[in-house]
C-alpha cells in the first residue's frame, strides 16, 4: 500500500503519471493556496526527472532553514521515502559474489537511490571556501566542482536574493546545469535567472518555509513514484 498523507493507493491503476497527479491533487486539497503552483511544480518535476534519466544528479542549496530543507530533500531522495526500494537482483548477486553472507545482508538492506547532494553540508569545505575566497562563494565553488552538464541545481531562498545561492545559479547556468528555485511570492533575483521558479504564496519567512516543506515533499513523492513505483 502506498500512502501520501491522506492518500492511499493499493496500486498505480493509471501508472505513475496518474499517481503524480493524485499527489498534487491531494496537496492542493490540503493547501488550496498552492493550487496556482501546479504548472511550476509539474515543470520542476519534469526537469528533475529528465536529469536523473540522463544519468545526472540533483544539487540543492540554501541558508538557515533553507539549508535544513536542502538536507531534508536529499534525505528523501537518497533512500526510501514512501515506497520500498529494493535494489535490482543483479546488484544483489554482485554483492553476494563479492561479500558472501555479509554481501547478502547488505543487498537486502540497500535501497534504490536518486543521486542528490546537499551543498549545505560539508562544514569544513564551506568554511575553507568562505575564509580563503569569499563567503558568498560557498555554493558556487561546489557547483563548479560537483556539477556537470545535465545536472540540476535547486536553490532555496525565501527572498530569492541570497547572494551565495544566486552565485551558485549563475555558475550552474554557465556550465550547462538546469536551475530551479524555491522562493517566496516575489521571487527576487532568482526569478529572472532560473529555468523554473516555484514561488510560495507568502512573503513571511516562516510561512514561506512551511509552504516549501509541502512543495518539496510532494515533488519527492512524485519522483519516487516515477522511478520506483510499480509498472503496469
pLDDT tens track, the chain, 232 positions: 344 444 434 444 444 556 788 999 999 999 999 999 999 999 999 999 999 999 999 999 999 999 999 999 999 999 999 999 999 999 999 999 999 999 999 999 999 999 999 999 999 999 999 999 999 999 999 999 999 999 999 999 999 999 999 999 999 999 999 999 999 999 999 999 999 999 999 999 999 999 999 999 999 999 999 999 876 4
Q: What is the domain extent for residue 182?
A: 38-78+113-224
Specify the residue for cell string 539549508.
67
Sheet with 196-199, edge to edge strand ranges? 116-118, 58-62, 152-156, 178-183, 196-199
Say whether pTM exceeds 0.85: yes
Is residue 93 assigned to a domain?
Answer: yes
Q: Are 84 and 60 in contact (CB under 8 A)?
A: no
Q: What's the pLDDT score for residue 2?
A: 44
Maximum Cα interatomic distance, the chain, rounded to a whole number of Å: 56
Q: What's the pLDDT score for residue 9?
A: 45
Is residue 30 assigned to a domain?
Answer: no
The cell for 117 is: 547532494
Number of C-beta neighbours around residue 201 at 10 A: 15
Is residue 18 assigned to a domain?
Answer: no
Q: What's the pLDDT score for residue 17?
A: 53
- Tally of domains within the chain: 2
Q: What's the pLDDT score for residue 170?
A: 98
Q: What's the pLDDT score for residue 18?
A: 65
Is residue 6 assigned to a domain?
Answer: no
Torsion of CA 143, 55, 57, 222, to 10 degrees: 150
Same domain, 91 and 140: no
Pinpoint the alpha helices (H) of 133-200: 138-146, 163-174
Q: Are 38 and 184 in contact (CB under 8 A)?
A: no
Q: What's the pLDDT score for residue 231?
A: 62
Q: What's the pLDDT score for residue 6?
A: 46
In sequence order, the β-bridge partners of residue 197 are 181
Amino acid at each position: 500500500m502506498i500512502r501520501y498523507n491522506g492518500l492511499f493507493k493499493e496500486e498505480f491503476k493509471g501508472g505513475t503519471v496518474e499517481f503524480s497527479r493524485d499527489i498534487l491533487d491531494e496537496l492542493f486539497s490540503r493547501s488550496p493556496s498552492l493550487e496556482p503552483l501546479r504548472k511550476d511544480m509539474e515543470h520542476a518535476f519534469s526537469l528533475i526527472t529528465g536529469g536523473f534519466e540522463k544519468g545526472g544528479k540533483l544539487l540543492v542549496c540554501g541558508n538557515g532553514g533553507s539549508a535544513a530543507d536542502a538536507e531534508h530533500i536529499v534525505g528523501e531522495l537518497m533512500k526510501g521515502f514512501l515506497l520500498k526500494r529494493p535494489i535490482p537482483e543483479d546488484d544483489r548477486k554482485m554483492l553476494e559474489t563479492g561479500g558472501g553472507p555479509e554481501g547478502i545482508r547488505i543487498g537486502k538492506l540497500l535501497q534504490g537511490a536518486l543521486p542528490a547532494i546537499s551543498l549545505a553540508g560539508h562544514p569544513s569545505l564551506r568554511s575553507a571556501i568562505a575564509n580563503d575566497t569569499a563567503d558568498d562563494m560557498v555554493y558556487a565553488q561546489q557547483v563548479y566542482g560537483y556539477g556537470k552538464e545535465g545536472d540540476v541545481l535547486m536553490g532555496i531562498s525565501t527572498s530569492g536574493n541570497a547572494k551565495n545561492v544566486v552565485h551558485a545559479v549563475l555558475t550552474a547556468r554557465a556550465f550547462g546545469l538546469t536551475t530551479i528555485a524555491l522562493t517566496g511570492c516575489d521571487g527576487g533575483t532568482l526569478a529572472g535567472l532560473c529555468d523554473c521558479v516555484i514561488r510560495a504564496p507568502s512573503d513571511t519567512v516562516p510561512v514561506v518555509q512551511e509552504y516549501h516543506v509541502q512543495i518539496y515533499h510532494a515533488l519527492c513523492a512524485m519522483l519516487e513514484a516515477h522511478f520506483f513505483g510499480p509498472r503496469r
